[in-house]
Amino acid sequence: MSCSLARRLQWGTVSTRATSSPIEPGPPHSLCERRPQVSVERLVDELEPPWRFEGVRFDTYIPDPNHPSQADAVTRLAAFAAGVGAERRDPGGIRGWFSRKPAAPTGPRGVYLDGGYGVGKTHLLASVWHAAPVPAHQKAFGTFVELTNLVGALGFRDTVRVLGGYRLLCIDEFELDDPGDTVLVSSLLSKLVEAGVSLAATSNTLPGKLGEGRFAAADFLREIQGLSAHFQPLRIDGEDYRHRGLPEAPPPYADEVVAKTARTTSGASLDHFPHLLGHLSQVHPSRYGALIEGVRLVCLTGVAPVPDQSTALRLVVLADRLYDAEIPVIASGVPFDRLFGEDMLRGGYRKKYYRAISRLTALARDAKPLGDTDGAS
């Protein structure tokens, strides 16, 4: 983004951006050897659609004719995007009033896309960001995890100051996993709405159902209802487009095939899956994007069911970052649809796990031409 963090905060400079060095051609590298450091400035600068969604627009979304809600969503979201920035006032008084309409909007200032994984919600959310008729430095796009990470890095007050300078905030993969996040995000979004920021979000859970199955939602009903009041829900039905009309995911390969593919592919990483899971516990999820920076192919040996929920949730974040960066994955061991046990797939995080399976399967399919040169197990 062209507007620096220091300019938004108005309290001076921040640390120089520090990242992992891109992987150079040669022998495969190990992600376990990388310990990236991510500055606060980078967290802010990265509040834009990921590379995978840089070129998406409303007219590149292909609605499933069997699910009319998809075409309806395109129409309604395009209208929402066109109205972003119609009237607002910068809380710091720098830009003054921006007005295209004589009256301030009433009712929810945001739209909330609810639907299963793979129906194109992120595509549509990124399209809202691209279509909104305001400069790029006045609109932000990030996942729910990135949003909470930003609060952790800046503090609540300065996060309000930074995000309050935008005219649109798009939040992908909206989830409330604990009471602290519920109160935090409810308070944050309330402040942003007061500042005139328009909101758009995606999730697999309707606003009134946020937090169900993950904590005692009834104890925080007031905060959850407050969040819901900021959004107009928009349901999107359909099947996972990543598997619609496509062949099944390739079976796992032999360890030797994975290792050989890593050695013969420029920019590949090679890790033993259990070791990588252990390494993820030592790297904050906000750094997972930097962890895979410069990688062109992820090679994993010994993929096995994830042992516990904390590890599983970290793997979900890694899968999201790999998918955003369009990095193929080739692996040995168990298929990706056996990563999470039945108890996990029946629990409160099941939609996250299914999304991870879906995305890793798509990335495995992308890597199939490379693996097939040596043959599957």
Residues 6 or more apart whose CB falls under 8 angstroms from that of 291 comprise 20, 31, 34, 36, 283, 318, 321
Read off the pTM: 0.74
The conformation of residue 349, written as its DSSP 8-state character, comes to: T
- Tens-place pLDDT, residues 244-254: 554 566 799 99
* pLDDT the model gives residue 98: 38
Closest CA to 205 of 143, 113, 342: 113
Confidence of residue 39 (pLDDT cuts 50, 70, 90): confident
* pLDDT the model gives residue 43: 86
Closest CA to 51 of 254, 326, 285, 373: 326
Q: How far apart are CA 163 and CA 38, in angstroms?
A: 19
Most confident option among 150-154, 182-186, 345-349, 363-367: 363-367
Residue 90 has pLDDT above 80, yes or no: no
* pLDDT the model gives residue 78: 96
Residues 6 or more apart whose CB falls under 8 angstroms from that of 177 comprise 211, 214, 215, 313, 349
Sign of the dihedral defined by the CA atoms of residues 221, 225, 226, 227, in that order:
positive
Query: CATH classification of 47-235, choosing from 3.40.50.300, 3.30.70.380, 3.30.1280.10, 2.60.40.1080?
Result: 3.40.50.300
Confidence of residue 80 (pLDDT cuts 50, 70, 90): very high
Residue 109 has pLDDT above 70, yes or no: yes
Confidence of residue 205 (pLDDT cuts 50, 70, 90): low
What are the residues facing 331 on neighbouring strands? Answer: 300
Name the helix (H) or strand (E) containing 96. none
* pLDDT the model gives residue 371: 76
Closest CA to 366 of 276, 255, 252, 250: 250
Alpha-carbon 33 to chain mean position: 24
- Tens-place pLDDT, residues 6-23: 444 443 333 323 344 445
Q: How far apart are CA 330 and CA 265, in angstroms?
A: 12
What residue type is 336 in one-letter code? F
